A = this chain, B = another copy of it.
Amino acid sequence: MRTGVWLVGARGSVATTSIVGGLALRAGLAGPTGCVTELPELRGPALPAFADLVFGGHDVATTPLCKRAEALATAGVLPGRLVAALPDELAAVEEELRPAPGVGSQAERAAAIVRDLTDFRDRHRLDRVVVVNVSATEPTATAHPAHADPATLRDALTGPDEVLPASSLYAYAALTAGCPYVDFTPSTGARLPALHTLAVERGLPYAGHDGKTGETLVKSVLAPMFAMRHLTVRSWSGINLLGGGDGANLADPAANAAKVESKQRVLGETLGYVPQGGTRIDYVEELGDFKTAWDLITFSGFLGTGMRMEFTWHGCDSALAAPLVLDLARLTAAAHAAGRVGPLTDLAFFFKDPLGSPTHSLGEQWTRLAEFTRALHTGRESADGQAG
């Protein structure tokens, strides 16, 4: 099952790490640490092999992919030896990268994206192309009446307005080109009624939002722990210090707000109440791609006794995100092949702000993911009958 992985933001840290890692896996130069689809519980015939993945993508930046890869190696995100060992493979992917269409009406730009996608699919005789958004996080989008249904939207795009935020324009184009769409960022993406309807009309699945790689991952196991033990969380406060491209972008208060909001949701939905405290994101350039998050949790137990826990997480965001991007591409491709349509709520395991209103407990998300994947491998419908 030859599968295209089209990355929006293809020259960014997450995309570059995903590409180098995918090529290294294909070449047998690296193992699948961090790829959950290679765990015994998820592995199986329905997923495209790493060797069957073909990479391409859009970006507004023009830095050569190998330069980005070298920079990531210098920063300790990637082993330099892998970049050195894959010059031809990286050059081949470079050939598949296209500038983000930037001129004309949104309809014209969407058409250009569609062309890039279909050309890519044809050129490589791919069974399908999964579009994954790993571009910079957008500010919270403003509502527009044309978001309601596909026909109105199609009309509005031909006008002069910026009707859709970039992430949704990519989603629109992807669905139009018959490609499933995954949003790894907190941006709007396919989360608009018009795009949902479009996906259903075209028989396409979509997934998102916001890859769960750090503090929120830890929250998604610690919050259920407090809940299962009937301990009352009094406050949960945290700070995320990060550099890198994503950090610089999140220093923008608007983008920051979108991210912080999706981070806090986990707590309220898991505990059934919102404890005091909040989450901060601060940009500290020198930290580069290695993020440090610190959280303080105060809680009370039997007879009101006050206690506390704190944790520090020093994670490399791109190294945590990249294998999940590959996992999502594989799972979404398999879901498409199996005829799944609409929001893939069983992929909540991967996201800070998952589609649907599912659990935020990582353990329960894992159970659902394992069942979903098993159904794909065995060709049966998933538990909650989402098959198309």
A residues bordering B, Cβ < 8 Å? 17, 20-21, 24, 30, 32-36, 38-39, 76-79, 82, 217-218, 220-222, 224-225, 228-232, 234-235, 237, 239, 241, 276-278, 280, 282, 284-287, 290, 292, 294, 296, 298, 300-305, 307-316, 319-320, 322-323, 349, 361-364, 366
Contacts and interface: CB of A to CB of B under 8 A. Distances in A.
Closest 7 CB pairs of A and B: A363-B363, A305-B319, A34-B302, A311-B311, A221-B221, A302-B323, A34-B301
A64 B35 CA distance: 39
Contact of A24 (B21, B224, B303, B363): B303
B313 A309 contact: yes
B280 A280 contact: yes
B298 A287 contact: yes
Contacts of A284: 235, 237, 276-277
A152 to B, nearest CB: 41
Contacts of A300: 33
Contacts of A77: 305
Contacts of A231: 33-34
B309 A218 contact: yes
Contacts of A301: 33-34, 315-316, 319-320, 323
Nearest to A76: B305
A230 B36 contact: yes
Contacts of A277: 241, 282, 284
B304 A33 contact: yes
B285 A276 contact: yes
Nearest to A238: B239
A34 B230 contact: yes
Given A302-B17, A302-B21, A309 B312 contact: yes
A155 B76 CA distance: 57
A70 to B, nearest CB: 14
